């Protein structure tokens, strides 16, 4: 049909426009001079989107501005942040075509995820202590180094460790099990210990810088929430905590899109029955983390050292379960 080529060109143009659009910053906001910009930055507002979703009173309090000024800034941010901008289905499909899938080494788990752990996505692995979250993280770190023909990404790994549970010996063990030189594996997995939530957030900027020299294909945050949970305690701190977590996740998601990389975050669930965190399918961080995650895997321990992973509210895959075990060699069916 003669229409086809014409419509293809239109789609191409739309993609180009999308990429070339200059990124607006808070300095572009009407009425924001250097002093106000400084206040906003100091309060942690680096992105228009973060401002656009605030209420005037929240912004006034957090950035120490008047409410009237805050309302104007928010209105400006909503316009500039291009909330709800449309992009063509074709452009979306093109991006989706770049998606790569990483094997976990366990076929049941890969199948549950529609063929493996996807790039351009945040995967949240949550479950109680000892359920296998860190073991999955370590295994995916090793597998990311594998050639694409073996289900890997042939890329580099950046691992943010908040609980000091990264074990190089375990990486070496898993690397040997897949026929990789342990030294080579350890060279390509870059680890940073995050001392608090602010440091954890800064490390993402560090990864952004590193991505100029390294082919970053997997970013792990183990655990995403532990620092935030211990630093922001009680109802009064909840809004601030959620806002900071939200921004952290947005930055991670942005990196995953730019790098065509996979983001794996772990999250613990409290066994203590509590109004906010009692439901096991509702991990720490509540709906902010749940909403930001593309895939959510809920892990639980079962008989004989088995682990059960359940896929929860995925955009395009049926809910289901996969059984795996953690052995000396790593994850197995
Ligand atoms: P928290 O971080 O405490 O919330 O737990 P987690 O979900 O990260 O648990 P983790 O991944 O550390 O799983 C711990 C379990 O993995 C242990 O109880 C062991 O069953 C298993 N495991 C850990 N290391 C090894 C190992 O070197 N060999 C074997 N065979 N199993 C291991
Ligand atoms: Mg752990």
pLDDT of amino acid 287? 74
Q: Where in the chain are the domains?
A: 26-81, 95-332
Instruction: Report the nearest atom of ligand 1 relative to the CA of 170.
Output: 27
Mutate to test the pocket of ligand 1, among 326, 327, 329, 330 (most ligand atoms within 8 A of CB): 326
Selection from 300, 278, 284 nearest residue 131 by Cα: 300
**32 alpha carbon to ligand 2 midpoint, in Å?**
44
Biggest CA–CA distance in the chain, Å, is 64
In short, whether 326's Cβ falls inside 6 Å of ligand 1 is yes
**250 alpha carbon to ligand 2 midpoint, in Å?**
23
**Helices marked H in the chain:** 3-20, 34-42, 48-52, 56-63, 67-80, 89-97, 107-112, 133-144, 168-177, 182-187, 197-210, 226-231, 235-259, 286-292
In short, whether 76's Cβ falls inside 6 Å of ligand 1 is no
Q: For the domain made up of 95-332, give the CATH fold.
A: Rossmann fold (3.40.50)
**99 alpha carbon to ligand 1 midpoint, in Å?**
29
Query: Positive or negative, the Cα torsion across 62, 222, 125, 189?
Result: positive
Write the residue with the smallest CA distance to atom 15 of ligand 1.
130
Instruction: Report the nearest atom of ligand 1 relative to the CA of 132.
Output: 11
- The fourth-level CATH superfamily of domain 26-81 is 5' to 3' exonuclease, C-terminal subdomain (1.10.150.20)
Helices (H) and strands (E) in the chain, counts: 14, 11
Selection from 299, 317, 319 nearest residue 308 by Cα: 299
Q: What is the mean pLDDT of the chain?
A: 85
Give the whole-angstrom CA distance, residue 315 versus residue 295: 8
Average pLDDT, integer, range 211-231: 94
Q: What is the pLDDT of residues 89-100, one digit of tens each?
A: 777 777 788 899
Provide the pLDDT confidence category of residue 46 given band limits of 50, 70 and 90: confident
pLDDT of amino acid 272? 52
In short, whether 162's Cβ falls inside 6 Å of ligand 1 is no
pLDDT of amino acid 4? 42
pLDDT of amino acid 85? 56
Sheet holding 189-193, edge to edge: 189-193, 156-161, 216-222, 262-268, 121-127, 295-301, 306-312, 320-327, 330-332
**165 alpha carbon to ligand 1 midpoint, in Å?**
10
**208 alpha carbon to ligand 2 midpoint, in Å?**
25
Mutate to test the pocket of ligand 1, among 105, 132, 283, 297 (most ligand atoms within 8 A of CB): 132
Write the residue with the smallest CA distance to atom 3 of ligand 1.
129
In short, whether 260's Cβ falls inside 6 Å of ligand 1 is no
**136 alpha carbon to ligand 1 midpoint, in Å?**
9
Higher-confidence residue of 291 and 82: namely 291
Give the whole-angstrom CA distance, residue 228 versus residue 182: 33
Higher-confidence residue of 131 and 88: namely 131
Q: How far is CA 280 from CA 6, 219, 306, 325, in A?
A: 51, 25, 19, 21
pLDDT of amino acid 120? 93
> Beta partners for 121?
262
| Segment among 47-56, 244-253, 283-292, 317-326 with least mean pLDDT | 283-292
In short, whether 226's Cβ falls inside 6 Å of ligand 1 is no
Q: What is the pLDDT of residues 263-313, one digit of tens each?
A: 999 998 865 544 444 455 455 666 778 888 899 999 999 998 899 999 997
In short, whether 131's Cβ falls inside 6 Å of ligand 1 is yes
| Segment among 28-42, 146-160, 215-229 with least mean pLDDT | 28-42
């Amino acid at each position: 049909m003669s229409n086809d080529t014409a419509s293809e060109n239109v789609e191409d143009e739309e993609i180009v426009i999308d990429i070339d659009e200059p990124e607006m910053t808070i300095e572009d906001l009407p009425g924001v001079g250097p002093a106000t910009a400084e206040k906003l930055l100091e309060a942690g507002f680096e992105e228009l989107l973060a401002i656009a979703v605030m209420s005037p009173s929240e912004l006034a309090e957090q950035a120490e501005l008047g409410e009237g000024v805050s309302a104007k800034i928010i209105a400006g941010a909503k316009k500039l942040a291009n909330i709800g901008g449309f992009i063509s289905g074709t452009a979306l499909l093109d991006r989706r075509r770049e998606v790569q899938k990483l094997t976990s080494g366990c076929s049941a788990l890969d199948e549950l995820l529609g063929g493996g752990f996807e790039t351009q996505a945040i995967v949240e692995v949550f479950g109680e202590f000892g359920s296998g979250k860190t073991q999955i993280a370590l295994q995916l770190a090793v597998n990311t180094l594998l050639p694409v023909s073996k289900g890997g990404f042939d890329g580099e790994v950046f691992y943010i460790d908040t609980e000091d549970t990264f074990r190089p010996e375990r990486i070496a063990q898993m690397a040997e099990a897949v026929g990789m030189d342990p030294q080579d594996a350890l060279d390509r997995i870059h680890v940073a210990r995050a001392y608090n939530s602010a440091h954890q957030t800064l490390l993402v900027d560090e990864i952004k810088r590193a991505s100029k020299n390294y082919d970053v294909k997997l970013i792990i945050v183990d655990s995403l929430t532990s620092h935030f949970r211990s630093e922001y305690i009680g109802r009064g701190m909840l809004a601030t905590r959620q806002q900071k977590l939200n921004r952290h996740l947005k930055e991670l998601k942005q990196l995953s899109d730019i790098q065509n990389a996979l983001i794996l975050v772990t999250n613990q669930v409290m066994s203590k029955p509590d109004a906010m965190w009692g439901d096991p399918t509702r991990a720490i961080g509540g709906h902010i983390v749940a909403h930001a995650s593309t895939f959510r895997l809920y892990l639980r321990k079962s008989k004989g050292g088995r682990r059960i992973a359940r896929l929860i509210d995925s955009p395009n895959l049926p809910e289901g379960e996969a059984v795996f075990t953690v052995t000396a060699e790593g994850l197995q069916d």
